[in-house]
């Protein structure tokens, strides 16, 4: 069954916590749950870490806990060390009935560094990607044994950003590793979202409906901005924004053809003092539901 969710970074950013710092947590929950009507919400730094406290807080606002970002460091630590490190996060997911763990390698990532141009991100050689993929698959196999599917989040400023790197990661991993397809990061990373999703739809288990403003992302590249500067300047937006460059209709039709039955999440960080989260998230959800009906997903 398709469910629609959001991410609290639309209100209060996780990478730069000064963005949205003035917005009360109660407002985030009330707008996402009662006012807009999302089914669930992903993790954020405002939520409690204790699994039951998290469940109760979200449930009181009509929201399920979807899942949350987990930063792997498999490039610099062993699989057993990664398994040990993830236990508290895993417990939170299992207690809340989550299906997936959102994973991204961050041991050398720069997306959270306001002083680094996103163009200067780390890259792996072909051999290094194969070695990383083997460790990621082993970690994913452990999670599968715990009833959780690993979904890898290709992301700006990290080792898996371009469509070629998505291809390489999928080739370097096996049946336990799946993909979180993010339309905005795909486009920003130089990919054609329709082409990339078509190629990997069978392994997609989580979908981020992030949109981009191409005029802004072009400046990020041309002027050497950091990822965080791009966010503040409006690189991302929601489905349905007339300034957005991603057409979500074809993407939702691809998901329908692939038999997708997971979450569709608006994960679109903006500067909330410039772009009102209530208005933008309402637009995004209405757009996704309309396009999902047209695609036969709902």
Question: In the prediction, which pLDDT does 127 show?
Answer: 98
Question: In the prediction, which pLDDT does 100 show?
Answer: 98
Terminal C-alpha separation, the chain: 8
Euclidean distance between CA atoms 19 and 58, whole angstroms: 22
Question: In the prediction, which pLDDT does 53 show?
Answer: 98
Euclidean distance between CA atoms 263 and 250, whole angstroms: 17
Question: In the prediction, which pLDDT does 289 show?
Answer: 98
Question: In the prediction, which pLDDT does 175 show?
Answer: 98
Question: In the prediction, which pLDDT does 123 show?
Answer: 98
Euclidean distance between CA atoms 249 and 291, whole angstroms: 6
Q: Per the structure block, which two tokens stand in for 162?
A: 């371009």
pTM for the predicted model, two decimal places: 0.97
Question: In the prediction, which pLDDT does 243 show?
Answer: 97
Question: In the prediction, which pLDDT does 158 show?
Answer: 98
Segment 55-106, tens digit of pLDDT: 999 999 999 999 999 999 999 999 999 999 999 999 999 999 999 999 999 9
Domain that holds residue 120: 3-295
Helix residue spans in the chain (DSSP H)? 25-29, 51-59, 79-85, 87-95, 126-145, 163-172, 183-188, 193-200, 214-223, 227-233, 248-257, 277-295
The one-character DSSP state at 34 is: I
Cβ–Cβ contacts within 10 Å for residue 230, how many? 25
Q: Can you list the residues of the chain whose pLDDT is less than 50? A: none
Question: In the prediction, which pLDDT does 33 show?
Answer: 98
Euclidean distance between CA atoms 128 and 172, whole angstroms: 10
Q: What is the CATH number of the domain that holds 118?
A: 3.20.20.150
Euclidean distance between CA atoms 239 and 144, whole angstroms: 32
Count structural domains, the chain: 1
* Full DSSP string of 188-257: HTT--HHHHHHHHGGGEEEEE--EE-HHHHHHHHHHT--HHHHHHHT-EE-TT-TT----HHHHHHHHHH
């Amino acid at each position: 069954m398709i469910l629609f969710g959001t991410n609290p970074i639309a209100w209060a950013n996780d990478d730069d916590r000064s963005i949205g710092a003035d917005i009360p947590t109660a407002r985030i929950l009330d707008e996402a749950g009662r006012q807009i009507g999302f089914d669930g919400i992903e993790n954020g730094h405002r939520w409690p870490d204790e699994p039951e406290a998290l469940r109760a807080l979200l449930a009181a606002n009509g929201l399920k806990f979807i899942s949350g970002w987990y930063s792997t460091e498999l490039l610099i630590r062993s699989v057993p060390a990664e398994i040990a490190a993830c236990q508290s996060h895993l417990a939170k997911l299992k207690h809340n009935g989550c299906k997936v763990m959102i994973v991204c390698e961050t041991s050398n990532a720069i997306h959270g560094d306001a002083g680094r141009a996103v163009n200067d991100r780390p890259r792996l050689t072909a051999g290094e990607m194969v070695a990383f993929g083997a460790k990621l698959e082993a970690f994913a196999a452990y999670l599968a044994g715990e009833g959780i599917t690993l979904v890898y989040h290709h992301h700006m400023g990290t080792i898996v950003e371009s469509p070629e790197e998505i291809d390489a990661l999928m080739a370097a991993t096996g049946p336990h590793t799946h993909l979180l397809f993010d339309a905005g990061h795909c486009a920003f990373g130089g990919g054609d979202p329709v082409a990339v999703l078509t190629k990997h739809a069978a392994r997609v288990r989580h979908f981020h409906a992030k949109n981009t403003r191409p005029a802004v992302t072009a400046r990020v590249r041309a002027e050497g901005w950091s990822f965080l500067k791009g966010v503040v300047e409006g690189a991302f937006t929601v489905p349905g924004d007339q300034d957005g460059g991603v057409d979500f209709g074809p993407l939702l039709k691809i998901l329908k053809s692939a038999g997708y039955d997971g979450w569709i999440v608006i994960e679109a960080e903006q500067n909330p003092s410039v772009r009102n989260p209530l208005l933008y998230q309402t637009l995004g959800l209405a757009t996704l539901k309309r396009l999902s009906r047209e695609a036969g997903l709902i």
